[in-house]
């Protein structure tokens, strides 16, 4: 068979409702030393919404060995198995029961989908299509069922967990025992979970707004017991926030989290039993960085928020993934903004979007936040579906305002509780409560690509009017050559060029929401006439990143500097600095000598002004002082020579460090720790700025690394210790080797720190493929643990440009080899590692040729997974 025939796409337009429904699912999962048996009893009926029902098709994955299946007591002798489908004859009875028994080998499940073993525990991962690897089932999100689960295992596995409430437990023969769980809320199979292990439990409780007490339990392997407090506290904050901001209370009496070491993603929102990658939940003050704490708090909240946005109201099909993910990311991002600093959270989110999601939108895998086809659904857990999806929900929030948006979400949760729905259903609620016509807005769900908004202006001194001309466009993306105009909310303000103060203005334009200063750009071109503008002004556009677009305005360097120094929107101060630095870097790369020099000088004086600003929040200052990532600069021009870009980037950082050495020194000493470590915004901001100044110090002079060593030795916290090691790695002298070894000895029994340590090694400047291969011989590395693979291979190919893009092509060969090896073990991880190759057409010819050869080599073997096949074949198209 040709590979195109083996890897067939699934299309949204082919959606058909399920022929049969499952009212009750009764599972008995028996775990033995070297295998597991799963017996299922499904209480089913034909879907009353349909006239014709046809064959009963259950999904059964290839990990499942079918031992027996019967319908209403009659064994089905030879059920037809085609790919992942198990086809049984049509059934006309109004109700019937399907019973099955299958055998599984969890120890050999390296894909980490379905039931698998992680270290000493058994656990499951069912989203998106893992449940079919546990039992034959209509494994699709629009089949909702009430689950009762019995788990039987050797008694040494003292914790036997599943969704819902415990309803029974007891001993069995042969030193075995059982537990039974019942989840009263109908749910799709992807939310099923089961855990069996020798686990320690940290308990807490939460009283809901209506006075119900909920038990909170966090399960870990015993040696991690000391790392549970932070996540439990974060969980309680999230529970309270969801009550206050969305009016959503928790619905069961018990909420459990389990930490597992082997996990493909960050965490999973299984009903009442969230399963977390250990790296995304375990924390304590001695071993976790500020970034780690913030991430854990956000992920704990994200999974908790899914209880409503995802579980109570779920997705009709996987094309609707952004319905739950975009909305839930928006919710967790607002939660973080409320817990810490709104503008800073915005800068961090927008950085991620601009550096990675924009690249996705511009590459071969570009898809709308609601894709219309896929070969492997796991490839669509993307930045586009998650982060751009969240931006789309944020735009609705901006257009409706907080109060109407809340009415919209109340209506959505109430109307669709217990149902599997579509993005149209969500948008319709928002339109209904607000009266805003969102027909055009829906294009955000349908069209891929990052729109551009080009703005120009003219000022009429006599009339005191400033006219802003807007023109929107969107580049072609695979399968979508032409785009219709989007509904784009552009939040804006003006800054007086002379007064350097915010200017007020009026306008008659019906698309301008004066209360929120948001212009609804709907047409391809439109003009906004602003009156009562008393002096020439610099427009501050797309404030708070009010839409996921590229917004361009012909600012002079001085305009940008003015915005950096004086804009009253702190997000836009950062954004202006990003624009200034981006322009400078692009001019330097393209060797536009005169322009580059002028921009560089302006950047220098803006940097100096920011360094001297005593009123700026240190967290904001640290972000303003950070140059945009190389990945972002690489999106601005083509062809890209990645080694030249790395050199120019380093040279500019070094030049800024040297020119302003005294100022950086001053910041370095002003931000030294003067109190014991705590994770809180003010301290984290100070540390971020301290590390920023340390980075400049290391770059500026040959002995700068001594300051890094001094910090490494002095710091009482992981943020500064690791930050110092990373910066010092640029010098990578024998003292650094010693410090790294010392760090390893101190932390080698802490899995989360070891993962960070591996990352520092892999990202070290000067690291080569030979060096990474050696690192992969280290006892800390393991091919079957996705975190370790990400820490070493992922870090090297995504965050070590010199190593990955080595001129001899060794980095590309290394990555292709790793993808091919992993594809046989864990295709999800293999597919994710293909990302660096997707940009191949943007590079200079030599790089293109070398990458293309590797892509073709990956595609050659038979039996490639759908995931890798999809990305690589689309990349080569
Ligand atoms: N729904 C989870 C993410 C997730 C997706 C797939 C997984 O396995 C293939 C695991 C987790 C979330 O958004 O947190
Ligand atoms: Zn999610």
What is the 3-state composition of the chain as percent helix, strand, coil, each rounded to the nearest 5?
45, 20, 35
Going from the Cα of 370 to the center of ligand 2, the distance in angstroms, rounded, reads: 15
Contact (Cβ atoms closer than 8 angstroms) between residue 140 and residue 315: no
Going from the Cα of 115 to the center of ligand 1, the distance in angstroms, rounded, reads: 15
Which atom of ligand 1 is the closest one to the Cα of 381? 5
Check if 267 has its Cβ closer than 6 Å to any atom of ligand 1. Answer: yes
Checking phi first, is residue 645 left (phi over 0); if not, alpha (psi -120 to 50) or beta?
A: alpha
pLDDT band at 20 (very low <50, low <70, confident <90, very high): very high
CB atoms within 10 A of CB 594: 8
Percent of the chain with pLDDT over 90: 98
pLDDT at 78 over 90: no
Which residues, 6 or more positions from 786, have their beta carbon under 8 angstroms from its beta carbon?
112, 262, 263, 264, 826, 829
Query: Which pLDDT score, from 0 to 100, does residue 582 have?
Result: 98
pLDDT digits (tens, 9 = 90+) for 567-592: 999 999 999 999 999 999 999 999 98
Going from the Cα of 266 to the center of ligand 1, the distance in angstroms, rounded, reads: 7
Contact (Cβ atoms closer than 8 angstroms) between residue 421 and residue 430: no
pLDDT band at 830 (very low <50, low <70, confident <90, very high): very high
Catalytic sites, residue numbers? 303
Query: Which pLDDT score, from 0 to 100, does residue 732 have?
Result: 76
pLDDT at 391 over 80: yes
pLDDT digits (tens, 9 = 90+) for 748-792: 999 999 999 999 999 999 999 999 999 999 999 999 999 999 999
User: By C-alpha distance, which of 123, 280, 105, 278 is closest to 198?
Assistant: 123
Check if 332 has its Cβ closer than 6 Å to any atom of ligand 1. Answer: no
Q: What is the mean pLDDT of residues 140-156?
A: 99
Contact (Cβ atoms closer than 8 angstroms) between residue 181 and residue 167: yes
Q: Positive or negative CA dihedral for 193, 198, 204, 205? A: positive
Q: What is the mean pLDDT of residues 290-310?
A: 99
Check if 264 has its Cβ closer than 6 Å to any atom of ligand 1. Answer: yes
CA within 13 Å, CB half, 730: 20
Query: Which pLDDT score, from 0 to 100, does residue 643 have?
Result: 98
pLDDT at 4 over 90: no
Q: What is the mean pLDDT of residues 267-290?
A: 98
Structure tokens given for 542: 């797309």
Q: Which ligand is nearest to the CA of 325?
A: 2
Considering only CA atoms, which residue is closest to atom 5 of ligand 1? 127
Task: List strand residue ranges (DSSP E) for 376-477, in order.
Answer: 420-421, 452-460, 465-473
Query: CA distances (Å), 134 to each of 28, 30, 105, 259, in order?
Result: 11, 12, 10, 21
Q: Which ligand is nearest to the CA of 318?
A: 1
Going from the Cα of 127 to the center of ligand 1, the distance in angstroms, rounded, reads: 6
Q: How many residues are given for the chain?
A: 877
pLDDT band at 41 (very low <50, low <70, confident <90, very high): very high
* CA–CA separation, 105 and 116 (whole Å): 8
Query: Which pLDDT score, from 0 to 100, does residue 2 have?
Result: 74
Contact (Cβ atoms closer than 8 angstroms) between residue 528 and residue 513: no
Query: Which pLDDT score, from 0 to 100, does residue 650 have?
Result: 98
Considering only CA atoms, which residue is closest to atom 3 of ligand 1? 268
Which atom of ligand 1 is the closest one to the Cα of 828? 9
Measured between alpha carbons, how far apart are the two ends of the chain, in Å? 20
Considering only CA atoms, which residue is closest to atom 2 of ligand 1? 268
Which atom of ligand 1 is the closest one to the Cα of 130? 9
Q: Which ligand is nearest to the CA of 266?
A: 1
Which atom of ligand 1 is the closest one to the Cα of 299? 14
Give the distance from CA 35 to its chain's centroid. Answer: 34
Domains of the chain with CATH codes = 1-195 (2.60.40.1730), 313-445 (1.10.390.10), 452-545 (2.60.40.1840), 555-702 (1.25.50.10)
| Dihedral of the alpha carbons of 873, 367, 447, 347, in degrees to the nearest 10 | -140
pLDDT band at 91 (very low <50, low <70, confident <90, very high): very high
pLDDT digits (tens, 9 = 90+) for 227-277: 999 999 999 999 999 999 999 999 999 999 999 999 999 999 999 999 999
Q: What's the whole-number average pLDDT of the chain?
A: 98
With the most atoms of ligand 1 within 8 angstroms of its CB, the residue from 116, 193, 265, 829 to mutate is 265
pLDDT at 822 over 80: yes
Peptide bond into 305 cis (omega under 30): no
pLDDT digits (tens, 9 = 90+) for 404-458: 999 999 999 999 999 999 999 999 999 999 999 999 999 999 999 999 999 999 9
Top-confidence residue, 799 or 78? 799
Going from the Cα of 310 to the center of ligand 2, the distance in angstroms, rounded, reads: 8
Going from the Cα of 263 to the center of ligand 1, the distance in angstroms, rounded, reads: 10
Q: Positive or negative CA dihedral for 773, 777, 781, 783? A: positive
Contact (Cβ atoms closer than 8 angstroms) between residue 717 and residue 682: no
Check if 303 has its Cβ closer than 6 Å to any atom of ligand 1. Answer: yes
Which atom of ligand 1 is the closest one to the Cα of 325? 13
3-state secondary structure of 493: strand
3-state secondary structure of 536: coil
Check if 127 has its Cβ closer than 6 Å to any atom of ligand 1. Answer: yes
Check if 839 has its Cβ closer than 6 Å to any atom of ligand 1. Answer: no
pLDDT digits (tens, 9 = 90+) for 600-652: 999 999 999 999 999 999 999 999 999 999 999 999 999 999 999 999 999 99
pLDDT digits (tens, 9 = 90+) for 334-363: 999 999 999 999 999 999 999 999 999 999
Going from the Cα of 106 to the center of ligand 1, the distance in angstroms, rounded, reads: 20
Residues, Cβ < 5 Å to ion ligand 2? 325, 328
Q: Which ligand is nearest to the CA of 270?
A: 1
């Amino acid at each position: 068979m040709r590979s195109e025939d083996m890897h067939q796409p699934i299309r949204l337009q082919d959606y058909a409702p399920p022929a049969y429904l499952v009212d009750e699912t009764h599972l008995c999962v028996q775990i033995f030393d070297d295998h597991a048996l799963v017996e299922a009893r499904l209480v089913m009926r034909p879907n009353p919404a349909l006239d014709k029902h046809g064959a009963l098709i259950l999904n059964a994955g290839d990990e499942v060995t079918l031992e027996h299946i019967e319908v209403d007591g009659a064994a089905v002798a030879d059920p037809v198995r085609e790919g992942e489908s198990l086809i049984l004859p049509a059934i006309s009875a109004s109700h019937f029961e399907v019973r099955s028994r299958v055998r599984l080998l969890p120890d050999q499940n390296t894909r980490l989908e379905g039931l698998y073993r992680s270290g000493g525990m058994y656990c499951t991962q069912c989203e998106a299509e893992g449940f079919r690897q546990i039992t034959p089932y209509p494994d699709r999100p629009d089949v909702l069922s009430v689950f009762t689960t019995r788990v039987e295992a050797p008694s040494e596995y003292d914790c036997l967990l599943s969704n819902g409430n415990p309803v029974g437990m007891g001993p069995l023969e042969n030193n075995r025992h059982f537990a039974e769980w019942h989840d009263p809320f109908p749910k799709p199979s992807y939310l099923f979970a089961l855990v069996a292990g020798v686990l320690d439990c940290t308990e807490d409780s939460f009283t809901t707004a209506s006075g119900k007490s909920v038990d909170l339990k966090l399960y870990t392997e015993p040696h991690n017991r000391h790392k549970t407090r932070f996540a439990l506290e974060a969980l309680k904050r999230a529970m309270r926030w969801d009550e206050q901001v969305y009016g959503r209370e928790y619905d069961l009496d018990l909420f459990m989290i389990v930490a597992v070491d082997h996990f493909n993603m960050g965490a999973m929102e299984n009903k009442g039993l969230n399963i977390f990658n250990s790296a995304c939940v375990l924390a304590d003050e001695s071993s976790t960085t500020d970034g780690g704490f913030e991430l854990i708090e956000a992920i704990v909240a994200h999974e908790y928020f899914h209880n409503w946005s995802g579980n109570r109201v779920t997705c009709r099909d996987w094309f609707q993934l952004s319905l739950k993910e975009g909305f839930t990311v928006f919710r967790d991002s607002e939660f973080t903004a409320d817990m810490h600093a709104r503008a800073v959270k915005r800068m961090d989110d927008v950085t991620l979007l601009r550096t990675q999601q924009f690249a996705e939108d511009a590459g071969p895998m570009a898809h709308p936040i609601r894709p219309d086809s896929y070969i492997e659904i796991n490839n669509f857990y993307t930045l586009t579906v998650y982060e751009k999806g969240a931006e789309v929900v944020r735009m609705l929030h901006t257009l409706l305002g907080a109060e109407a948006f809340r009415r919209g979400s109340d209506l959505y949760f109430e109307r669709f509780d217990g149902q599997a729905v579509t993005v149209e259903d969500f948008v319709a609620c928002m339109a209904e409560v607000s009266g805003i016509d969102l027909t055009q807005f829906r294009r955000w769900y349908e069209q891929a690509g990052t729109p551009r908004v080009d703005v120009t202006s003219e000022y009429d001194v006599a009339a005191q009017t400033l006219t802003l001309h807007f023109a929107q466009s969107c580049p072609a993306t695979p399968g979508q050559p032409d785009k219709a105009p989007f509904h784009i909310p552009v939040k804006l303000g003006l800054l007086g060029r002379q007064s350097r103060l915010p200017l007020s203005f009026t306008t008659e334009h019906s698309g301008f929401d004066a209360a929120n200063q948001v212009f609804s750009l709907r047409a391809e071109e439109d003009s906004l006439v602003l009156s009562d503008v008393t002096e020439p002004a610099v427009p501050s556009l797309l404030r708070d990143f009010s839409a996921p677009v590229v917004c361009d305005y012909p600012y002079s360097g001085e305009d940008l500097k003015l915005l950096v120094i004086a804009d009253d929107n702190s997000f836009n101060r950062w954004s202006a600095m990003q624009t200034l630095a981006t322009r400078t870097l692009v001019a330097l790369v393209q060797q536009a000598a005169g322009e580059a020099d002028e921009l560089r000088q302006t950047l220098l004086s803006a940097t100096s002004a920011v360094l001297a600003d005593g009123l700026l929040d240190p967290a904001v200052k640290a972000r303003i002082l950070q140059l945009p990532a190389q990945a972002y600069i690489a999106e601005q021009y083509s062809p890209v020579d990645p080694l030249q870009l790395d050199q120019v980037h380093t040279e500019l950082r070094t030049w800024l460090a040297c020119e302003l050495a005294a100022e950086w020194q001053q910041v370095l000493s002003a931000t030294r720790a003067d109190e014991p470590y705590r994770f809180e915004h003010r301290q984290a901001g100070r540390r971020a700025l301290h590390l920023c100044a340390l980075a400049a110090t290391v770059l500026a002079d040959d002995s700068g690394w001594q300051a890094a060593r001094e910090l490494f030795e002095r710091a009482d916290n992981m943020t500064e210790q690791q930050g110092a090691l990373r910066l010092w790695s640029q010098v990578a002298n024998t003292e650094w080797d010693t410090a790294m070894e010392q760090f390893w000895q101190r932390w080698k029994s802490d899995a989360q720190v070891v993962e960070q340590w591996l990352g520092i090694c892999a990202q070290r400047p000067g690291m080569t493929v030979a060096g990474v291969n050696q690192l992969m011989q280290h006892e800390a590395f393991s091919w079957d643990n996705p975190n370790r693979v990400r820490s070493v291979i992922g870090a090297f190919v995504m965050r070590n440009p010199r190593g990955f893009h080595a001129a001899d092509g060794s980095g590309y060969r290394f990555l292709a080899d790793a993808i091919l090896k992993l594809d046989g073990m864990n295709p999800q991880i293999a597919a994710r590692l293909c990302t660096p190759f997707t940009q191949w057409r943007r590079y200079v010819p030599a790089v293109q040729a070398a990458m293309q050869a590797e892509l073709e080599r990956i595609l050659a073997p038979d039996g490639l997974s759908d995931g890798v096949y999809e990305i690589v074949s689309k990349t080569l198209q």
